[in-house]
Amino acid sequence: MLIASCFVLAFMGWVMRLGYPGAVLGVGALAGSIAIFRKKDSKHRSAAVIGAIASGIVVFGAIGNGNEKSRTQAAKTASIEEARQKAEASRAHEEDVSSRIAALVASTAPQDAVDLCNSFGDVGAIPEKSRAGCGAAYLAKGRESLAAAKLAEAVPLLERASALSPGNADAATSLSSARELQGKEDFKKKGPEISAGLARAVAHAKAKEWEAAETELKAADATLKAFEGLEVAKSKEWGALSGQAAQQRKRIQPGLEKLELQRQAQKVMVEMRGEKPLNSPWDGSVPEVERYLKKVMNDPDSYEHVSSSAPVARDAYWIVKSSFRGKNAFGGKVLNTRYFFIQRGQVVHVEE
């Protein structure tokens, strides 16, 4: 009976999953159950009642499942249609913008075309249909800015034009000219700054402040390097400053090497010291010192902490000054003060 019930329930579930066709089957089963129930002298009325109830459940379940499938399909269709409309709108927008850009460039209004191209954001985000028009707009506006000696404005525009039209010789030539002119202008401002930085490096070197001298030289080298590849880097002024920087670096090199050795030695010492010992929040004692004393004392149980300094880093050690009481060889309790040298959590040396 249990097995039969399981099969019946499984069959009902399968019919309900059919959706509307399952509802039709359920209605047919319901009609059959009613017909059996209404038959006179029927011996299967109880089964007909159960069948009618089951058929009703199947009908409602199948209708609900059919409604859910319809909603899902409708939502999927609406989503596809919305995506299609968005794609069409995007294509229409791109075509409109592309035609507007081309018209603006042709009407000698490059700034308006540049504004439209900038609305896309990065150069890589400009649609394929608009790339040629934007390249022409950036080139026209870049040349206009270059002619007006607005170099800070011209260079980025011409860089965008070159990125959009890699094989355009006009864009490459204009960009090269703009960079050369900007390099000359920048060097007029940066040259005195480099010279002042080199003078500070000399002063630091005389005072044996090697690290500060190195910082100034690195800044000067970085600024000079920014002009490499430009005509200004072939000038006497640039060559003189570059020579001074090289001379100063040669002058401070021994000091820098010594400084580097000190840094390496300091690093080794820090590694040898290990983690800093901590004073106990209860009585101020240092656990590393207490463990050591209880190992070497004649009577470890007689150890009594009096005071301990905070650990101080020196060379490869943490040094702690500690006072304590303990019994001597004759059984008398005496006060002692010692300096304890600690490495990596262990007392390795003791001094009075």
99 lies in some domain: no
Indicate if the pLDDT at residue 350 is higher than 80: yes
Residue 228, token pair as written in the block: 């490499």
Domain boundary residue, one of 77, 101, 134:
77
The reply to whether 188 falls in a domain is no
Query: What does the block give as tokens for 227?
Result: 């002009």
Question: Can you tell me the mean pLDDT for 237-245?
Answer: 87
pLDDT of residue 158: 81
Q: Provide the mean pLDDT of the chain.
A: 76
Stretch 172-184: mean pLDDT, rounded? Answer: 81
pLDDT(5) > 50? no
Q: Which tens digit of pLDDT belongs to each residue from 39-58?
A: 655 555 555 555 556 555 65
Is 100 a domain residue?
no
In a shared domain, residues 267 and 294: no
Query: What angle in degrees, to the nearest 10, is found between the helix axes of 128-147 and 151-164?
Result: 150
Which of 173, 169, 166, 88 has the alpha carbon at shortest distance from 132? 166
Query: Is residue 139 in some structural domain?
Result: yes
Inter-residue contact 178 to 155 (CB < 8 Å): yes
CB distance 58 to 12 below 8 Å:
yes
Instruction: Give the structural domain span for 227.
Output: 201-272
CA 296, CA 70: separation in Å to the nearest integer? 88
Whether 256 maps to a domain, the answer reads yes
**Domain closes at, from 238, 272, 306:** 272
Among 9-13, 52-56, 335-339, the least confident range: 9-13
pLDDT band at 71 (very low <50, low <70, confident <90, very high): low
Helix (H, G, I), strand (E, B) or coil at 174: helix
Element (H, E) at 209: none
Q: Are residues 69 and 121 in the same domain?
A: no
pLDDT of residue 287: 94
**Residue 308 or residue 185, greater confidence:** 308
All residues at 6 or more sequence positions from 346 whose CB lies less than 8 Å from its CB, including other chains: 288, 292
Does 103 reside within a domain?
A: no
Look up tokens 């400009």; give the residue.
126
Same domain, 293 and 263: no
Mean pLDDT along residues 212-232 = 87
d(CA 260, CA 80): 66
268, 297: one domain: no
**Inter-CA distances, 139 with 82, 105, 108, 212, Å:** 38, 10, 12, 45
pLDDT digits (tens, 9 = 90+) for 73-82: 667 776 776 7
Do 208 and 258 share a domain, yes or no? Answer: yes
Quick check: 182 and 155 in contact, CB under 8 A?
A: yes
On the question of pLDDT at 7 being above 50, the answer is no
The total number of structural domains that make up the chain = 4
Task: Dig out the tokens for 310 from the structure.
Answer: 């905070």
Q: Do 220 and 247 belong to one domain?
A: yes
73 or 204, greater pLDDT: 204
Question: CA of 58: how far to CAs of 35, 52, 136, 251, in Å?
Answer: 18, 10, 69, 96
Residue 109 has a pLDDT of: 61
The pLDDT of residue 11: 47
Asked if residue 182 belongs to a domain, the reply is no
Residues 211 and 238 in one domain: yes
Asked whether residue 196 is domain-assigned, the answer is no
Give the pLDDT score at 234: 86
Domain end: 272, 297, 321, which one?
272
349, containing H or E segment: strand 346-351
CA distance 160 to 114: 10
Q: Are residues 14 and 41 in the same domain?
A: yes
Residue 320 is given by DSSP the state E
My answer on whether 9 and 73 are in the same domain is yes
pLDDT level of residue 343 (50, 70, 90 thresholds): very high
Distance CA 162, CA 175 (A): 8
pTM strictly above 0.85: no
Banded pLDDT at 347 (limits 50, 70, 90):
very high
6 and 43 housed in the same domain:
yes
Based on the fold, state whether residues 262 and 293 are members of the same structural domain.
no
Condensed to tens digits (0 to 9), the pLDDT of residues 106-151 reads: 555 677 777 777 777 787 777 777 777 787 878 888 888 778 778 7
